[in-house]
Each structure stands twice: as C-alpha cells, then as structure tokens.
Chains A and B, each alone.
Chain A
Amino acid sequence: MIPSPPLREIVHAGWRLFVRELRLRYRRAFFGVLWSVLPLVVAAAAYLSVAPRPESSGERGAVPTVLDVLVGLVLVQAFVDGLNYPQQLARRLRTLLAHSSFPRESLLVAGAGFVGFNLLVRAAVTAAALGLGAEPLAATAPLALGGALLLGGLGLCVGAFLAAPALLLWDVRFGLPYVTGLLYLVTPVFYRPGEEGLLAWANALNPLTHVLEASRALVWGAPISWLPLLSVLCLSFFLALLTPRALRRALCCALPYA
C-alpha cells in the first residue's frame, strides 16, 4: 500500500487546481469572471419582470411561484454542477493525471470549488430577487443554502463515479446533458410534487425531490418531512465514504488508455 498524502495537502492541491481552471476559463475574456454572473442576472431580471405576481403571499398554491422556481433551479443546478465537474476536470487534466502522482481526491476538492463558486453567484442573485419580491420569507431561509450544499455534494459523489469512465467512453460526456434534462423532468422544480401516478412515483424515488422540498420549506417557513430528508443524508454520507477510494481505483484502470 502507498499511503495517501495528508488532508491539508489534498485540499491545497484541489484549491490550486480550481484556481487555475477558473483563471484559464476566463483568461481570454475581457470581462473575466463577470461572465459567470451576468447571464444569471439578466435571466433573473427578465424572468421577474414578466412573471405574474404571487396569488397569495406566504401560502403555497398549486403552481409554484417565480421565486419558488428560482430557488428550485439554484438547488438542482448545484447537483448538476457536482455531476459534471469531476468528469470535466478529469478529462482536462488527464495528461497531468498520467504523469504525476498528485492526490486524486484533489479533483473532488476542485470540483467542490466550482460547485461552491457557482452556488455563491446564484445564491447572491436569488437572494437579491427574494429581497425584491413581495413574498415574506421565513427566518430559516438562509438554511436553504445547506440543502444546496447537500445536493452539490451528492452530485460530486455521483460525478466522481463517472469521471474515469468518461475518459474512455464519450457516451458519458454526450449523455449527461440528456440525463440532466430528465432530472429536471422528474424533480419538482417547475411543478408541485405529484400525489398519484407515474410522476408521483418518480418524485418520491428521486432523492433531489426531498431536499428540494425541505429547502423550499425552510425559505417559506413550511413544515419539513424529516424522514425522507434523513434518508437522503444517509445515502450521501455512504456515497461520500466510498467516493475517494472508488475514484482512485477507477482512474488507475482508465489512465493507461485515456
């Protein structure tokens, strides 16, 4: 067995990877990092200006309000980012991975950096939109960020399992956008969770649903269903334990042919 480097070294390497990739992304852009904020601000502003006003403040109607959708989008997008970044980073860094023995877990740290960065930007825009909106917020609203972090972490775990296969099979890369589209369909972002039928089943089995609903409940001060939320927490914890070792092993198998 070859011992792993200490945790602070892994975190530092991951942080540097994140910083380099971020700088590289915007190096040829005059407006730089502003490009990560601008599209979101424009979209949110356009959405808020044309959307109808909420039917009744504080109450959850049959159709989610604009701000409800915005909160949902931020949460699900955190999961989607987590899903995408490990395999994107592995693909971009495959030469470095094959020629250097740096800790593979730093890919996860760098991925977490991107998830966190995107989440911060989106959360700031959403917070501004919530502040401008007429709907009253609960005092627990900031805790909804915890839900986004949980979803981001869950996405990173699943994404880490896909990172090594993505080096060999481009189907993973091409298929992920479709999986993401399907995810939006079975997650109640634009609608309320179904009570019967196929969609209700899909919603119930989808771990994202429970975190999403709990986070929205925290924003609006509604009651939370704890049992499904705790199940998702346990699932995430279990996956997080498996992920680093699985990523190391899978990269060892894939790199000679990547």
Chain B
Amino acid sequence: MAGATLQAFDLYAATCPVLRRAERYAIFDMLLGRPAALRPGERWLLEGVSLRVAPGERVGILATSGAEALALGQLLAGVRLPARGRVEASGPVRLFCAPGKGFKSLLSADENLDLALALHGVSPKELAARRAEALALAGLEGRGRSQLHDLGREAARRLGLAALLAAPGELLVLCDLRLPKGDSWRAAFARRLDAASAVVVTTRPDELFFSAQRHFLLHCGRLFPSPDSEAACARWGELLAEACGPGGDAPLAFDEDEDEDEDEDRGEESSTAGGRAGSAGALVGHPRVDGRPTHHREASLLCGDGQRLQVELDYRPRRPARLRELCLRLNPDGVRTPVALARLEGSALLPGGNEEARLLRPDEPVCLAFEFVVPPLARGRFEVCADLFFHDGTRQTLELFALGPRNAAPPGGCLRLVARALSPSSAEAEESA
C-alpha cells in the first residue's frame, strides 16, 4: 500500500497574543528549550491533539480557525515544536501550505517551479519532466519563460498547486489549499492523494470533497472525530454561527492572508505564521461587487485613474478589542511602495462613539465605510488591503479586493463593494441561485 505512517501523540501548542512577549519567549526557547507549562500571557492554540495516519490513509480535518489549522499542519510536518507531545513519522513529511506563496513575480514560471519542485524533493534528473507536467496542469504550457508578474497572481496559485501535484512524497500534510473551481483540479488532487498518506487541514468545507477514510473537526484547539464529511461540515456550520463568550475565540470562516512580501528592505511588514492571535478578527462572509456575490479574495475591480470607489465592510473581531486606526492601502507588488488610500481613526472610525463604545465585540460586527479616488496605476494587478491597528499594539491586515489595469473602467462609473457577514452556506445558496 502506498504511503507512510504518521503519528501524533498528545500534542500541545502554545501561542502568545502579545508579539513582544512572544518574541522574548521564542528567544528563550531557542536557548533553553520550551517549558511544558504555559507562561504568563500564553494560551493553548492546540490541546491534546492525537492522530494516527496509517499507510495509504487520508484524513480530513475541518478547522474553524486558520491559525489552528496552520499550527497543526506545522506541528505534523515538524516545522513547529510542540510544547508537549511528539510526532513520529516513517518518512519525510511534506507540508504544502498556501500554494504559490514564496513565488517571486520577477522570475519566470519555470524558475519558480524549479525551486518549488526541488524543495519538495524532485531530483535534478526528473526536474524537466515534472516541470513540464506542472505547467500543463496549471494550463500554462509554452509559457514557462514568462515572468510570473505577467501571468498574474492566480497563475502563481495554480502553479503552486501544480507543483504539489507533480512533486513526489508519500506523506503529505496539506493546509489552506484553496483549490481553483473546476472538476479537473479536484480529480487531479484526488488522484494525488490516492498515491500517498495524507492529512488535509482546511477551513473550507468544500475542500473535503476527496474520499477521506477519517474526518475530524478542529475547534478551539481540540480535535473531535466526526463520522463523515457531511457531519463535520454541518457541525462546522453550527460552530461558525455560534458567538463565543467574552475572552474566547469566535470561530471564523477565513483568517487573514499573511503579508507575502519577503523583501528584506521593507521593514514595516508583520507576517504571522499561525501563532499570533491578538485582537485579530476577520472579514467574514462573501462580498458583493455590483450586487453579485463573490469571494472577497477573488473580487477584482477594473478601475481607471481618478475613478471614485466606495467600500463598505463588516468587521467582526475575534475577541473584544479596541480599534485605534484603520488604513486602506494599495499594495502594488511587493517591490514598489504601497499607496495610502484612506485612513480612519478616533471618532471617525465609529461615529458618535465614546471610549467605551469603541470596544468592538465578536457578537457586534461594525460596518466601516470608505470612499476614495483610484490613483494613477501602472500595469498589473493591485491588492487593496486594510490595516487594522489595535490599542494593544497588534496589527491585522485584510486583503479586500484587487484593482485591475488602468483605463479599463467598466461602464457605470461608481462601483460599490459591500462585504456583509453572511454565513458561507447562505452565500453559496445565493451563488447557486
């Protein structure tokens, strides 16, 4: 039988919401080793997670929080050290997380694929064949020499997924895959999983389409077995709808994207790798562009210079938090400097609010409205991001939507993007309707 064995015994992972303290703890851990108990300011991100993946077995884990999903993936692959417990595997564990992340837009598709495949264990002899295979899977045959910048961000994600499908490995841990729509991808993905032992940790119920032998629900750091994927999805929906008590973590559909920039010269980025929670919340649900529901990560607006754009978004914090400032910025491509679009702070953030009223609660989403003029854009796509600064010093970045190339304004002038807090099931129902 294909695949290898992976076993996790009573895993505990801790996180510290205050970054400064967390960094200090991490330095101590490097020098002295991590204590098994929680330290002041820490909380458990995962508690007592035990799992066994037999050869050829596929396990699906539906998580209610992106941070927990990533932490579990990292623990199983040995990228992160557990506070307690241990992981044992009969072969190297390949972690695939957020495909396309780490790809460089300045390099060609071939160059990016070469690295991705080499990092996932493809030998030099096989590299050319696997590269061609991956390019074909991504639908980019004959465009291997094109710069990724010209192919677009979606192509980078497809290439990342294609690299996963083309790479070897008998023991896979997959997180946050975000498969493109289409049966061909799902079929290829299912075929790949059939040839290995795999753990798929996801925050999206639609990614549990493959035939997993066992299903689990990961909620509030604990792993709950579930009889099948339908039961797991149903329970996941219930948990998502429930509001958490004060101080607890609200179950969220989607966590924020991390800052993807790796350029060492940009000092302002603050990427998190699944450990920091802080006051961070999320933009829950699906936005609408011109009344049409769409996933907020895929919403793309074609805008011309000087066009006026209105944005409304519902923000729901993960736990009670005081929002200090909210900035909207245009993020070109990680090389050029971001352009500030709009900024709200103080009473402008929550009109008429006193100090007490500025406390945002998980059960009271706040509607934030922006209006700005689209600045002159160079070629390429631009991400519009919202930076939320909290009173406790933490920051969260939300990717809202993408702006298309210049002079491609659609008829009708003013666009309106509204992000409402819909439950995923109702949004999907609307989409299908």
Contacts and interface: CB of A to CB of B under 8 A. Distances in A.
Interface of A: 1-5, 8-9, 12-13, 15-17, 19-20, 23-24, 27-28, 88, 91-102, 106, 164-165, 168-169, 249-250, 252-258
B30 A255 contact: no
Contact of A100 (B30, B95, B114, B123): B95
B88 to A, nearest CB: 6
B169 to A, nearest CB: 10
30 contacts: A1-B86, A3-B92, A4-B92, A8-B123, A12-B118, A12-B123, A13-B121, A19-B114, A19-B115, A20-B104, A20-B107, A24-B107, A88-B264, A91-B264, A93-B102, A94-B273, A95-B271, A96-B262, A98-B97, A98-B273, A165-B27, A165-B30, A168-B26, A169-B27, A253-B29, A256-B15, A256-B274, A256-B276, A257-B275, A258-B271
A221 B288 CA distance: 78
Interface in B107-135: 107, 111-112, 114-115, 118-121, 123-124
Chain A at the B interface: SS class: helix
Interface residues of B, number: 57
A43 B96 CA distance: 46
A56 to B, nearest CB: 48
Central interface residue in B23, B107, B119, by most chain A CB within 10 Å:
B119
Interface string B55-81: 000000000000000010010011111
Contacts, number: 150
B264 A2 contact: no
Interface in B221-260: 258, 260
A99 B34 contact: no
Nearest to B75: A252
A12 B124 contact: yes
Given A3-B91, A16-B115, A101 B78 contact: yes
Contact of A252 (B79, B92, B112): B79
Given A3-B92, A252-B78, A99 B101 contact: yes
Given A252-B78, A258-B271, A96 B101 contact: yes
A1 B101 CA distance: 27
A10 B93 CA distance: 14
B54 interface: no
Contacts of A20: 104, 107, 111-112, 114-115
Contact of B262 (A23, A95, A257): A95
